[in-house]
């Protein structure tokens, strides 16, 4: 994440922190100075590129903040905002595009589709993402400050997508953060994998059961996780356009799911869309 942090600092962060938290100045010949002596910013931070692939020469603003780039509080604040903003973009931009162009709208007719489910999911995501961002930013700070085995040059080494309890959501990402602390991993690969995993979490909720594969966690396998509280082999009927949205398939799935639900949760007090429609009719 030091590469991302350098890019953000260069184009946004330096000016922002210099404005909000300006550095105190020290006279040119402190402690033996006169009143008219030239004042210079008090910053001992020195620029070092985060990657050999490119360098972004910092502007004067990089040396004008009381919190220089290597300040741990600044790093945490920046990484928290980056993580939170990326989660918002991922959830409300890319997930919206997935909803418009990919998501199977017939899902709304499912008997177990909750009343106001989309708005409920948005509210839960908004509540969860800041807390998940705090937890994630703490691990990113550890990575940026060298407590990991991320490497740069290859010759150097061998937020439904966000509708969680915030700590559960962070817990699911823990393996991605622990891995580079234990094993060498290229910096660019780490960033690209993080982006890919976040986009994949959208695609496994789109309702398009493209692949019936025992290894790939596609939409069908993830739907089984939602319906039956765990992973199991998806029903073959889900991969047939004629049967995957049929009443028979739904009723079969619901019966199995409700048996498990009663055992785990007891009575179901949720309000479903189809139940509301039946009441109105």
Residue 30 domain flag:
no
pLDDT tens digits for 107-130?
788 787 788 888 888 888 899 899
CA distances from 89 to 79, 93, 171, 202 (A): 15, 5, 21, 12
Q: What is the average pLDDT score of the chain? A: 79
Structural domain boundaries enclosing 213: 209-280
Residue 34 domain flag:
no
SS (H, E, C) 46-91: CCCCCECCECCCCCHHHHCECCCCCCHHHHHHHHHHHHHHHHHHHH
- Long-range own/partner contacts, residues 271-276 (CB < 8 A, 24 or more apart): 271/114, 271/115, 272/111, 272/112, 272/113, 272/114, 272/115, 273/108, 273/113, 273/114, 273/115, 273/117, 274/109, 274/110, 274/111, 274/113, 275/111, 275/115, 276/115
Q: What is the reported pLDDT for 137?
A: 94
DSSP labels for 182-219?
Answer: HS-EEHHHHHHHHHHHHHHHHHTTS-------SSS--H
Q: What is the reported pLDDT for 23?
A: 87
Same domain (yes/no): 176, 220: no
Same domain (yes/no): 67, 4: yes
Same domain (yes/no): 215, 198: no
Residue 182 domain flag:
yes
pLDDT tens digits for 72-91?
999 999 999 999 999 899 88
In the chain, % of residues over pLDDT 90: 23
Same domain (yes/no): 177, 63: yes
Same domain (yes/no): 83, 165: yes
Q: Tell me the pLDDT band of 38, cut-offs 50, 70 and 90.
A: very low
Same domain (yes/no): 161, 121: yes
Same domain (yes/no): 6, 132: yes
Same domain (yes/no): 50, 138: yes
pLDDT tens digits for 226-281?
666 665 677 777 777 778 778 888 888 888 888 888 888 888 888 887 655 555 55
């Amino acid at each position: 994440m030091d590469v991302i942090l350098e890019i953000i600092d260069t184009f946004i962060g330096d000016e922002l922190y210099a404005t909000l938290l300006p550095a105190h100045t020290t006279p040119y010949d402190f402690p033996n100075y006169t009143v008219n002596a030239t004042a210079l910013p008090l910053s001992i931070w020195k620029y070092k590129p985060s990657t050999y692939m490119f360098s972004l020469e910092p502007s004067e603003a990089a040396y004008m903040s009381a919190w220089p780039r290597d300040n741990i509080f600044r790093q945490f604040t920046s990484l928290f905002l980056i993580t939170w903003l990326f989660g918002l973009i991922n959830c409300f931009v890319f997930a919206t595009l997935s909803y418009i162009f990919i998501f199977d709208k017939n899902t709304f007719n499912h008997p177990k589709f909750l009343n106001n489910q989309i708005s409920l999911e948005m509210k839960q995501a908004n509540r969860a993402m800041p807390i998940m961002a705090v937890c994630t930013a703490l691990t990113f700070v550890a990575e940026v400050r060298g407590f990991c085995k991320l490497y740069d040059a290859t010759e150097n080494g061998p937020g439904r997508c966000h509708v969680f309890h915030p700590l559960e959501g962070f817990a699911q990402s823990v393996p991605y953060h622990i891995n580079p602390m234990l094993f060498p991993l290229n910096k660019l690969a780490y960033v690209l994998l993080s982006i890919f995993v976040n986009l994949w979490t959208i695609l496994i909720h789109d309702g398009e059961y493209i692949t019936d594969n025992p290894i790939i966690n596609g939409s069908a396998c993830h739907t089984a996780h939602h319906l039956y509280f765990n992973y199991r082999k998806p029903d073959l009927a889900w991969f047939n356009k004629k049967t995957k949205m049929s009443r028979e398939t739904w009723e079969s799935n619901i019966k199995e799911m409700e048996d498990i639900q009663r055992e785990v949760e007891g009575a179901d007090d949720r309000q479903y869309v189809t139940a509301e429609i039946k009441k109105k009719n």
